[in-house]
Structure 1
Amino acid sequence: MPLLSTSRRAVPWALCLSAALWCAGPAQAEKADRNLPLNAEADALRHDDARQTSVFTGNVVITKGTIIIRGDQVEVRQDAQGNQFGIVHGKPGFFRQKRDLVDEFIEGTGQRIDYDGKADTVRFTGNAVLKRFKGTQLNDETTGNVIVYNNTTDVFTVDGGVANRTPQNPTGRVRAMLTPVPKEGGVPATPPPPAPPATLKPSPQLEEGRQ
Protein backbone atom coordinates (compact mmCIF):
# COMPACT_ATOMS: atom_id res chain seq x y z
CA MET A 1 0.00 0.00 0.00
CA PRO A 2 1.56 3.38 -0.92
CA LEU A 3 2.07 6.12 1.63
CA LEU A 4 -0.89 8.40 2.14
CA SER A 5 -0.23 12.12 2.32
CA THR A 6 -2.23 15.28 1.84
CA SER A 7 -1.69 18.99 1.93
CA ARG A 8 -5.36 19.90 1.95
CA ARG A 9 -6.51 21.48 5.19
CA ALA A 10 -9.92 21.77 6.80
CA VAL A 11 -10.82 18.35 5.41
CA PRO A 12 -11.13 15.75 8.19
CA TRP A 13 -9.41 12.42 7.65
CA ALA A 14 -10.41 9.29 9.49
CA LEU A 15 -8.41 6.14 10.10
CA CYS A 16 -9.47 2.97 11.90
CA LEU A 17 -6.66 0.73 13.17
CA SER A 18 -8.09 -2.47 14.65
CA ALA A 19 -6.05 -4.23 17.34
CA ALA A 20 -6.09 -8.01 17.64
CA LEU A 21 -8.49 -9.30 20.31
CA TRP A 22 -6.01 -11.64 22.01
CA CYS A 23 -7.25 -11.17 25.60
CA ALA A 24 -9.24 -14.15 26.80
CA GLY A 25 -12.39 -13.86 28.89
CA PRO A 26 -14.74 -10.89 29.40
CA ALA A 27 -13.17 -7.49 30.07
CA GLN A 28 -14.58 -4.31 31.53
CA ALA A 29 -15.08 -1.55 28.94
CA GLU A 30 -12.24 0.52 30.38
CA LYS A 31 -9.77 -2.39 30.37
CA ALA A 32 -10.87 -3.20 26.82
CA ASP A 33 -9.81 0.23 25.53
CA ARG A 34 -6.55 -1.25 24.27
CA ASN A 35 -8.46 -3.74 22.11
CA LEU A 36 -10.91 -1.29 20.55
CA PRO A 37 -10.43 0.42 17.17
CA LEU A 38 -8.60 3.74 17.08
CA ASN A 39 -10.45 6.48 15.21
CA ALA A 40 -8.74 9.73 14.26
CA GLU A 41 -9.60 13.00 12.55
CA ALA A 42 -7.11 15.67 11.47
CA ASP A 43 -6.38 18.23 8.78
CA ALA A 44 -3.73 15.98 7.21
CA LEU A 45 -2.45 12.41 7.41
CA ARG A 46 0.70 10.61 6.32
CA HIS A 47 0.47 6.81 6.61
CA ASP A 48 3.37 4.38 6.21
CA ASP A 49 1.90 0.90 5.79
CA ALA A 50 5.26 -0.90 5.88
CA ARG A 51 6.15 0.61 9.25
CA GLN A 52 2.54 0.66 10.46
CA THR A 53 2.77 4.31 11.45
CA SER A 54 0.40 7.20 10.86
CA VAL A 55 1.20 10.87 11.49
CA PHE A 56 -1.81 13.15 11.92
CA THR A 57 -1.36 16.93 11.90
CA GLY A 58 -3.67 19.86 12.50
CA ASN A 59 -6.51 19.84 15.07
CA VAL A 60 -6.08 16.14 15.75
CA VAL A 61 -8.83 14.34 17.65
CA ILE A 62 -8.46 10.64 18.46
CA THR A 63 -10.92 8.33 20.22
CA LYS A 64 -10.29 4.76 21.32
CA GLY A 65 -13.02 3.38 23.57
CA THR A 66 -13.19 5.76 26.52
CA ILE A 67 -9.88 7.38 25.51
CA ILE A 68 -9.92 10.90 24.01
CA ILE A 69 -6.71 12.48 22.69
CA ARG A 70 -6.27 15.96 21.22
CA GLY A 71 -3.15 17.66 19.90
CA ASP A 72 -1.46 19.56 17.10
CA GLN A 73 0.34 16.41 15.89
CA VAL A 74 -0.14 12.77 16.83
CA GLU A 75 1.99 9.86 15.64
CA VAL A 76 0.37 6.44 15.97
CA ARG A 77 2.31 3.19 15.65
CA GLN A 78 1.07 -0.41 15.79
CA ASP A 79 3.27 -3.44 16.46
CA ALA A 80 2.90 -6.95 15.06
CA GLN A 81 0.75 -8.02 18.04
CA GLY A 82 -1.74 -5.20 17.43
CA ASN A 83 -0.63 -3.01 20.35
CA GLN A 84 -0.88 0.69 19.62
CA PHE A 85 1.42 3.51 20.71
CA GLY A 86 0.94 7.25 20.36
CA ILE A 87 3.06 10.38 20.65
CA VAL A 88 1.10 13.60 21.05
CA HIS A 89 2.49 17.12 20.61
CA GLY A 90 0.41 20.14 21.53
CA LYS A 91 0.19 23.47 23.31
CA PRO A 92 -0.66 21.49 25.34
CA GLY A 93 -1.75 18.01 24.27
CA PHE A 94 -4.77 16.46 26.00
CA PHE A 95 -5.57 12.92 27.20
CA ARG A 96 -8.69 11.58 28.96
CA GLN A 97 -9.69 8.02 29.94
CA LYS A 98 -12.31 6.40 32.18
CA ARG A 99 -11.01 4.41 35.13
CA ASP A 100 -12.04 0.78 35.44
CA LEU A 101 -15.23 -0.18 37.36
CA VAL A 102 -15.90 3.30 38.79
CA ASP A 103 -17.46 6.53 37.57
CA GLU A 104 -14.09 8.25 37.54
CA PHE A 105 -11.91 9.74 34.82
CA ILE A 106 -8.27 10.71 34.61
CA GLU A 107 -7.46 13.74 32.51
CA GLY A 108 -4.04 15.15 31.74
CA THR A 109 -2.21 17.71 29.66
CA GLY A 110 1.42 18.18 28.63
CA GLN A 111 3.59 19.55 25.86
CA ARG A 112 4.21 15.91 24.91
CA ILE A 113 2.13 12.83 25.75
CA ASP A 114 3.32 9.26 25.20
CA TYR A 115 0.62 6.57 25.21
CA ASP A 116 1.69 2.92 25.53
CA GLY A 117 -1.25 0.64 24.77
CA LYS A 118 0.72 -2.51 25.61
CA ALA A 119 1.77 -1.40 29.11
CA ASP A 120 -1.40 0.73 29.51
CA THR A 121 0.60 3.75 30.65
CA VAL A 122 0.52 7.45 29.79
CA ARG A 123 3.48 9.82 30.16
CA PHE A 124 2.93 13.58 30.28
CA THR A 125 6.02 15.77 29.75
CA GLY A 126 6.41 19.56 29.97
CA ASN A 127 4.10 21.59 32.25
CA ALA A 128 2.28 18.35 32.98
CA VAL A 129 -1.05 18.33 34.80
CA LEU A 130 -2.96 15.22 35.89
CA LYS A 131 -6.53 15.43 37.22
CA ARG A 132 -8.92 12.81 38.57
CA PHE A 133 -12.66 13.40 38.36
CA LYS A 134 -15.46 11.64 40.20
CA GLY A 135 -18.23 12.04 37.69
CA THR A 136 -17.90 15.72 36.80
CA GLN A 137 -16.35 16.80 40.11
CA LEU A 138 -12.60 17.42 40.32
CA ASN A 139 -11.18 15.18 43.05
CA ASP A 140 -7.36 15.30 42.68
CA GLU A 141 -4.94 17.50 40.74
CA THR A 142 -1.16 17.15 40.40
CA THR A 143 1.36 19.27 38.48
CA GLY A 144 4.99 18.60 37.60
CA ASN A 145 7.46 18.38 34.76
CA VAL A 146 6.93 14.65 34.08
CA ILE A 147 3.91 12.59 35.18
CA VAL A 148 3.63 8.87 34.42
CA TYR A 149 0.24 7.22 35.02
CA ASN A 150 -0.29 3.43 35.02
CA ASN A 151 -3.92 2.64 34.25
CA THR A 152 -3.51 -1.01 35.27
CA THR A 153 -2.19 -0.37 38.78
CA ASP A 154 -3.66 3.15 39.32
CA VAL A 155 -0.19 4.32 40.33
CA PHE A 156 1.33 7.59 39.10
CA THR A 157 4.69 9.27 39.65
CA VAL A 158 5.48 12.97 39.38
CA ASP A 159 8.87 14.65 38.82
CA GLY A 160 9.57 18.36 39.31
CA GLY A 161 12.80 20.23 38.70
CA VAL A 162 14.13 23.15 36.72
CA ALA A 163 11.92 22.40 33.71
CA ASN A 164 8.85 22.77 35.95
CA ARG A 165 9.65 26.35 36.99
CA THR A 166 7.03 28.95 36.15
CA PRO A 167 6.28 32.46 37.43
CA GLN A 168 3.65 30.87 39.65
CA ASN A 169 6.06 28.11 40.79
CA PRO A 170 9.62 29.52 40.68
CA THR A 171 11.08 26.56 42.62
CA GLY A 172 9.75 23.95 40.18
CA ARG A 173 8.51 21.76 43.02
CA VAL A 174 5.73 19.22 42.53
CA ARG A 175 2.31 20.41 43.65
CA ALA A 176 -0.71 18.26 44.43
CA MET A 177 -4.27 18.54 45.72
CA LEU A 178 -5.52 15.14 46.93
CA THR A 179 -9.02 14.63 48.32
CA PRO A 180 -9.29 12.10 51.20
CA VAL A 181 -11.06 8.86 50.30
CA PRO A 182 -13.80 7.95 52.83
CA LYS A 183 -13.73 4.49 54.36
CA GLU A 184 -15.86 1.98 52.50
CA GLY A 185 -19.25 1.63 54.17
CA GLY A 186 -18.53 4.50 56.51
CA VAL A 187 -21.07 7.20 57.25
CA PRO A 188 -19.83 10.76 56.81
CA ALA A 189 -19.61 12.51 60.12
CA THR A 190 -22.26 15.18 60.68
CA PRO A 191 -21.81 18.08 63.03
CA PRO A 192 -24.02 18.00 66.18
CA PRO A 193 -27.17 20.12 65.98
CA PRO A 194 -26.82 23.61 67.45
CA ALA A 195 -27.99 23.97 71.05
CA PRO A 196 -31.33 25.75 71.50
CA PRO A 197 -31.09 29.37 72.60
CA ALA A 198 -31.18 29.92 76.35
CA THR A 199 -34.51 31.08 77.82
CA LEU A 200 -34.10 34.28 79.81
CA LYS A 201 -35.92 34.44 83.14
CA PRO A 202 -36.36 37.56 85.30
CA SER A 203 -34.21 37.71 88.41
CA PRO A 204 -36.18 37.42 91.72
CA GLN A 205 -34.30 40.43 93.06
CA LEU A 206 -35.48 42.56 90.12
CA GLU A 207 -39.07 41.41 90.64
CA GLU A 208 -38.90 42.35 94.34
CA GLY A 209 -37.43 45.77 93.48
CA ARG A 210 -40.40 46.55 91.24
CA GLN A 211 -42.88 46.12 94.10
Structure 2
Amino acid sequence: MKKTFRLACASCLLAIVSMPAQAERADREKPVQLEADRMSIDDLNKVQVLEGNVILIQGTLQILANRLVVTQDADGFQKGTATGGANGLARFKQKRDGKDDYVEGEAERIDYDARAEKSEFFNRAWVKSGLDEVRGAYISYDALNEKYLVTTGSGASKSATGAAQARVRAIIQPRSKNENPATPKGDPLTLKPAQSGK
Protein backbone atom coordinates (compact mmCIF):
# COMPACT_ATOMS: atom_id res chain seq x y z
CA MET A 1 0.00 0.00 0.00
CA LYS A 2 2.87 2.38 0.77
CA LYS A 3 4.32 1.93 -2.74
CA THR A 4 0.88 2.38 -4.32
CA PHE A 5 0.32 5.55 -2.25
CA ARG A 6 3.65 6.97 -3.44
CA LEU A 7 2.79 6.16 -7.06
CA ALA A 8 -0.55 7.94 -6.64
CA CYS A 9 1.22 10.96 -5.16
CA ALA A 10 3.67 11.05 -8.05
CA SER A 11 0.89 10.75 -10.63
CA CYS A 12 -1.12 13.54 -8.99
CA LEU A 13 1.91 15.75 -9.00
CA LEU A 14 2.87 15.05 -12.61
CA ALA A 15 -0.60 15.90 -13.78
CA ILE A 16 -0.70 19.26 -12.04
CA VAL A 17 2.91 20.44 -11.63
CA SER A 18 3.22 21.98 -15.10
CA MET A 19 0.60 24.65 -14.57
CA PRO A 20 0.94 28.01 -16.36
CA ALA A 21 4.27 29.77 -16.90
CA GLN A 22 7.73 28.53 -16.01
CA ALA A 23 7.18 26.58 -12.79
CA GLU A 24 9.91 26.31 -10.18
CA ARG A 25 12.03 23.39 -11.47
CA ALA A 26 13.37 22.51 -8.00
CA ASP A 27 9.81 21.61 -6.94
CA ARG A 28 10.02 18.39 -8.96
CA GLU A 29 12.74 17.09 -6.61
CA LYS A 30 10.77 17.84 -3.43
CA PRO A 31 8.54 15.35 -1.58
CA VAL A 32 4.80 15.44 -2.28
CA GLN A 33 2.52 16.03 0.71
CA LEU A 34 -1.11 15.03 0.21
CA GLU A 35 -4.12 15.39 2.45
CA ALA A 36 -7.71 14.42 1.67
CA ASP A 37 -10.71 12.90 3.41
CA ARG A 38 -10.72 9.97 0.95
CA MET A 39 -8.43 8.50 -1.72
CA SER A 40 -9.15 5.72 -4.19
CA ILE A 41 -6.60 4.17 -6.54
CA ASP A 42 -7.43 2.04 -9.56
CA ASP A 43 -4.03 0.72 -10.73
CA LEU A 44 -5.56 -1.31 -13.56
CA ASN A 45 -7.27 1.70 -15.18
CA LYS A 46 -4.63 4.21 -14.01
CA VAL A 47 -7.09 6.45 -12.14
CA GLN A 48 -6.52 8.14 -8.77
CA VAL A 49 -9.26 10.11 -7.04
CA LEU A 50 -8.74 12.30 -3.97
CA GLU A 51 -11.85 13.80 -2.35
CA GLY A 52 -12.71 16.12 0.51
CA ASN A 53 -10.57 19.14 1.39
CA VAL A 54 -7.73 18.05 -0.92
CA ILE A 55 -4.36 19.68 -0.28
CA LEU A 56 -1.32 18.93 -2.44
CA ILE A 57 2.01 20.57 -1.60
CA GLN A 58 5.38 20.01 -3.27
CA GLY A 59 8.00 22.67 -2.68
CA THR A 60 6.38 25.96 -3.69
CA LEU A 61 3.46 24.25 -5.46
CA GLN A 62 0.12 24.27 -3.64
CA ILE A 63 -3.16 22.83 -4.97
CA LEU A 64 -6.38 23.24 -2.96
CA ALA A 65 -9.58 21.59 -4.17
CA ASN A 66 -12.52 19.52 -3.06
CA ARG A 67 -11.77 16.80 -5.62
CA LEU A 68 -8.70 15.86 -7.66
CA VAL A 69 -8.89 13.16 -10.36
CA VAL A 70 -5.77 11.99 -12.21
CA THR A 71 -5.80 9.60 -15.17
CA GLN A 72 -2.90 8.20 -17.19
CA ASP A 73 -3.02 7.10 -20.84
CA ALA A 74 -1.22 4.12 -22.41
CA ASP A 75 1.80 6.30 -23.26
CA GLY A 76 2.20 7.44 -19.64
CA PHE A 77 0.83 10.98 -20.09
CA GLN A 78 -1.37 12.25 -17.27
CA LYS A 79 -4.49 14.38 -17.22
CA GLY A 80 -5.66 16.00 -14.02
CA THR A 81 -8.89 17.71 -13.02
CA ALA A 82 -9.23 19.74 -9.82
CA THR A 83 -12.72 20.91 -8.83
CA GLY A 84 -14.45 22.67 -5.98
CA GLY A 85 -12.94 24.03 -2.81
CA ALA A 86 -13.52 27.21 -0.81
CA ASN A 87 -16.41 29.14 -2.43
CA GLY A 88 -16.59 26.38 -5.07
CA LEU A 89 -13.16 27.23 -6.51
CA ALA A 90 -10.10 25.02 -7.02
CA ARG A 91 -6.87 26.97 -6.44
CA PHE A 92 -3.19 26.63 -7.23
CA LYS A 93 -0.06 28.65 -6.51
CA GLN A 94 3.57 28.07 -7.51
CA LYS A 95 6.79 30.08 -7.61
CA ARG A 96 8.10 30.87 -11.09
CA ASP A 97 11.47 29.38 -11.95
CA GLY A 98 14.29 31.84 -11.34
CA LYS A 99 11.88 34.64 -10.38
CA ASP A 100 10.79 36.22 -7.12
CA ASP A 101 7.11 36.02 -7.98
CA TYR A 102 4.37 33.43 -8.21
CA VAL A 103 1.80 32.13 -10.67
CA GLU A 104 -1.56 31.57 -9.06
CA GLY A 105 -5.04 30.86 -10.29
CA GLU A 106 -8.50 29.64 -9.47
CA ALA A 107 -11.61 28.37 -11.21
CA GLU A 108 -14.54 26.08 -10.56
CA ARG A 109 -12.63 23.46 -12.58
CA ILE A 110 -8.95 23.31 -13.56
CA ASP A 111 -7.86 20.75 -16.17
CA TYR A 112 -4.29 19.91 -17.12
CA ASP A 113 -3.21 17.75 -20.09
CA ALA A 114 0.47 16.72 -19.85
CA ARG A 115 0.61 15.47 -23.47
CA ALA A 116 -0.55 18.81 -24.89
CA GLU A 117 1.06 20.84 -22.05
CA LYS A 118 -2.20 22.75 -21.79
CA SER A 119 -4.06 24.05 -18.74
CA GLU A 120 -7.72 25.08 -18.83
CA PHE A 121 -9.70 27.03 -16.23
CA PHE A 122 -13.50 26.88 -16.39
CA ASN A 123 -16.00 29.33 -14.83
CA ARG A 124 -14.97 32.23 -12.60
CA ALA A 125 -11.44 31.74 -13.95
CA TRP A 126 -8.53 33.91 -12.81
CA VAL A 127 -4.79 33.53 -13.45
CA LYS A 128 -2.09 35.86 -12.16
CA SER A 129 1.56 35.70 -13.25
CA GLY A 130 3.72 38.21 -11.39
CA LEU A 131 1.74 41.45 -11.55
CA ASP A 132 -0.08 40.50 -14.78
CA GLU A 133 -3.50 38.89 -14.47
CA VAL A 134 -6.38 37.70 -16.63
CA ARG A 135 -9.97 36.95 -15.70
CA GLY A 136 -12.83 35.40 -17.65
CA ALA A 137 -15.28 32.53 -17.83
CA TYR A 138 -12.66 30.38 -19.60
CA ILE A 139 -8.86 30.61 -19.65
CA SER A 140 -6.61 28.30 -21.64
CA TYR A 141 -2.82 28.33 -21.32
CA ASP A 142 -0.67 26.61 -23.96
CA ALA A 143 2.74 26.11 -22.29
CA LEU A 144 4.40 24.95 -25.54
CA ASN A 145 3.61 28.22 -27.32
CA GLU A 146 3.32 30.39 -24.15
CA LYS A 147 -0.11 31.70 -25.16
CA TYR A 148 -3.28 32.46 -23.24
CA LEU A 149 -6.81 32.40 -24.61
CA VAL A 150 -9.41 34.11 -22.45
CA THR A 151 -13.13 34.16 -23.29
CA THR A 152 -16.41 35.09 -21.69
CA GLY A 153 -17.76 31.68 -22.63
CA SER A 154 -21.09 31.00 -24.25
CA GLY A 155 -24.48 31.87 -22.83
CA ALA A 156 -24.59 28.38 -21.32
CA SER A 157 -21.36 28.99 -19.37
CA LYS A 158 -22.32 30.39 -15.99
CA SER A 159 -20.79 30.38 -12.54
CA ALA A 160 -21.96 28.10 -9.76
CA THR A 161 -24.24 30.91 -8.56
CA GLY A 162 -25.91 31.06 -12.00
CA ALA A 163 -24.53 34.52 -12.80
CA ALA A 164 -23.02 34.98 -16.26
CA GLN A 165 -19.60 36.57 -16.52
CA ALA A 166 -19.82 39.79 -18.51
CA ARG A 167 -16.40 40.48 -20.09
CA VAL A 168 -12.80 39.32 -20.18
CA ARG A 169 -10.48 41.44 -18.06
CA ALA A 170 -6.69 41.71 -18.06
CA ILE A 171 -4.05 43.77 -16.28
CA ILE A 172 -0.70 43.69 -18.06
CA GLN A 173 2.21 45.60 -16.58
CA PRO A 174 4.49 47.70 -18.83
CA ARG A 175 7.95 46.34 -19.52
CA SER A 176 10.86 48.23 -18.02
CA LYS A 177 12.71 50.52 -20.47
CA ASN A 178 15.99 49.20 -19.04
CA GLU A 179 15.02 45.62 -19.77
CA ASN A 180 17.06 43.86 -22.46
CA PRO A 181 14.66 42.21 -24.96
CA ALA A 182 17.06 39.27 -25.36
CA THR A 183 16.70 38.43 -21.65
CA PRO A 184 13.09 39.14 -20.65
CA LYS A 185 12.37 39.17 -16.92
CA GLY A 186 8.84 37.82 -17.22
CA ASP A 187 6.67 35.91 -19.63
CA PRO A 188 4.30 38.28 -21.46
CA LEU A 189 0.65 37.36 -21.66
CA THR A 190 -0.65 36.91 -25.20
CA LEU A 191 -4.39 37.45 -25.34
CA LYS A 192 -6.43 36.29 -28.32
CA PRO A 193 -9.93 37.53 -29.12
CA ALA A 194 -12.78 35.40 -27.82
CA GLN A 195 -13.81 32.67 -30.21
CA SER A 196 -17.37 31.53 -30.52
CA GLY A 197 -18.01 27.98 -29.40
CA LYS A 198 -16.18 28.10 -26.06
* TM-score, shorter chain, exceeding 0.5: yes
Distance 1:114 1:159, change over 3 A: same
Looking at secondary structure, tell me which structure has more strand per residue: 1
Aligned partner letter, 2:140? V
The aligned residue for residue 198 of structure 1 is none
**How many Å apart are 1:178 and its aligned residue?**
1.3
Distance 2:72 2:120 in 1: 18
Distance 1:148 1:83 in 2: 19
Of residues 173, 177, 181, the one that matches 2:175 is 181
Aligned length: 163
Distance 1:119 1:35 in 2: 23
The aligned residue for residue 68 of structure 1 is 62
Percent identity reads 37
Deviation digits for residues 142-192 of structure 1, max 9, x if unmatched? 11010012334432110114436899x977111111111213159xxxxxx
- Identify which range, 116-125 or 50-59, moves more after superposition: 116-125
Distance 2:60 2:168 in 1: 28
Of residues 100, 105, 110, the one that matches 1:103 is 100
Of residues 1, 4, 10, the one that matches 1:17 is 10
Distance 1:112 1:57, change over 3 A: same
The normalised TM-score by structure 2 is 0.66
Residue 125 of structure 2 aligns to a residue whose secondary structure is strand
Distance 1:170 1:75, change over 3 A: closer
The normalised TM-score by structure 1 is 0.62
Of residues 148, 157, 165, the one that matches 1:156 is 148
Asked if structure 2 preserves the Cα contact closer than 8 Å seen for 1:166 and 1:172, the reply is no
Distance 1:103 1:121 in 2: 24
Asked if structure 2 preserves the Cα contact closer than 8 Å seen for 1:121 and 1:151, the reply is yes
Asked if structure 1 preserves the Cα contact closer than 8 Å seen for 2:61 and 2:93, the reply is yes
- The answer for unaligned runs of 5 or more in structure 1 is 5-12, 21-27, 134-138, 187-211
Looking at secondary structure, tell me which structure has more helix per residue: 2
Distance 2:110 2:28 in 1: 17
Distance 1:176 1:104, change over 3 A: same
Deviation digits for residues 55-105 of structure 1, max 9, x if unmatched? 110010123554321101110122344432211111100122333443332
Distance 1:58 1:95, change over 3 A: same
Between structure 1 and structure 2, the one with the greater Rg is: 1
Higher relative contact order (CA 8 A, sep 6+): 2
Distance 1:32 1:153 in 2: 22
